[in-house]
Amino acid sequence: MSRNLDVISRLEEELETQPLDVPKWERLLAAVKTKDKEELVSRVFERYLDLFKSDGKQWCAYINYELARGEFSKVEQLFQRCLPEVASVDVLRLYVSYVRRVNDVITGGDKARRVVVSAFEFAVKSVGIDTHSGELWQEYIEFLQSWTPTASWEQQQKVDNIRKVYRRMLAIPTTNIEQLWVQYSKWESMVNQPTASKFVSDRSAEYMAARSWKTEWSNLTGDALERSLVPYSLHSDKKDWIKAQLDLWRRWVEFERKNTLELKDSVQLNARIEYCLRQATQALVFVPPVWFHYAKWFASNNDDQQAKAILVQATRLNPKSMLLNFQLAEAHEKDGNFDAAKQVYERLIKAFNDDYNTVNEKVLDIEKKLAPTEQGEPPKPLSRDERDELTRRRQRREKLKREQMLVWCKYMTATKRSAGIKEARSVFKQGRKEFADIGPEFYVENALLEHYNDNSKIAIKVFDLGLKQFPNHGKFLLAYLHYLIQTNDVDNIRKLIQSADSTLSKEITQLTESLTAPEIAKDVADETMRQIKDRRTWLKRLLKTYIRYAHQYLSMDVADSFITKYEQLFPDEDSIDLFTDRYRDDGVNLIVEEELDTSDDEDEFVAKRRKPAKEAQATNNGSANNRGGRNRRRNDGPNLPPPPRGLTSAPREEEPEEDSFVKPSVVKLLKQLPSASYFGEGPYDASRLVQMVANLPNVNTSK
Nearest to 49 by CA among 78, 10, 89: 78
Quick one: three-class SS letters along 110-136?
HHHHHHHHHHHHHHHHHHCCCCCCHHH
Q: Nearest 5°: phi and psi at 329?
A: -60, -40
Q: Is residue 578 part of a domain?
A: yes
Q: Is residue 144 part of a domain?
A: yes
- Across the chain, what does the average pLDDT equal? 86
DSSP string, 43-74: HHHHHHHHH-TT-HHHHHHHHHHHHHTT-HHH
Q: What is the pLDDT of residues 366-419, one digit of tens each?
A: 888 877 666 667 777 788 888 889 989 999 999 999 999 999 999 999 999 999
Counts of helices then strands in the chain (DSSP H, E): 31, 0
Q: Is residue 390 part of a domain?
A: no
List the Cα angle 509/496/608 in 5-degree steps: 50
* 364 confidence band (pLDDT: 50, 70, 90): very high
Residues linked to residue 588 through DSSP beta bridges, in sequence order? 585
Residue 27: the pLDDT is: 96
**Domain of 533, in residue numbers:** 471-597
* CATH value at residue 141: 1.25.40.10
Q: Is residue 391 part of a domain?
A: no
Q: What is the pLDDT of residues 234-259, one digit of tens each?
A: 999 999 999 999 999 999 999 999 99
Q: Is residue 551 part of a domain?
A: yes
Last residue of a domain, one of 123, 143, 162: 162
Last residue of a domain, one of 597, 631, 660: 597
Residue 588: the pLDDT is: 87
How far apart CA 537 and CA 541 sit, in angstroms, is: 6
Average pLDDT over residues 255-280: 96
Q: What is the pLDDT of residues 572-624, one digit of tens each?
A: 888 898 999 989 888 888 888 888 877 665 444 333 333 443 444 444 444 44
Q: Is residue 273 part of a domain?
A: no
The winner for highest mean pLDDT among 370-379, 477-486, 653-662, 671-680 is: 477-486
Taking the alpha carbons at both ends of the chain, their separation in whole angstroms is 90
How far apart CA 166 and CA 202 sit, in angstroms, is: 12
Please state which of the ranges 12-21, 412-421, 557-566, 584-593 shows the lowest mean pLDDT: 584-593
Residue 659: the pLDDT is: 44
Q: Is residue 184 part of a domain?
A: no
Last residue of a domain, one of 162, 194, 218: 162
Residues linked to residue 585 through DSSP beta bridges, in sequence order? 588
How far apart CA 338 and CA 348 sit, in angstroms, is: 15
Average pLDDT over residues 76-88: 97
The angle that helices 474-486 and 522-553 make with each other, rounded to 10 degrees, is: 10
Total domain count for the chain? 2
Q: Is residue 587 part of a domain?
A: yes
Please state which of the ranges 121-135, 287-301, 347-361, 570-584 shows the lowest mean pLDDT: 570-584
Please state which of the ranges 220-224, 373-377, 463-467, 469-473 shows the lowest mean pLDDT: 373-377
Cβ atoms within 10 A of the Cβ of 124, count? 21
Q: pLDDT at residue 703 above 90?
A: no
Q: pLDDT at residue 161 above 50?
A: yes
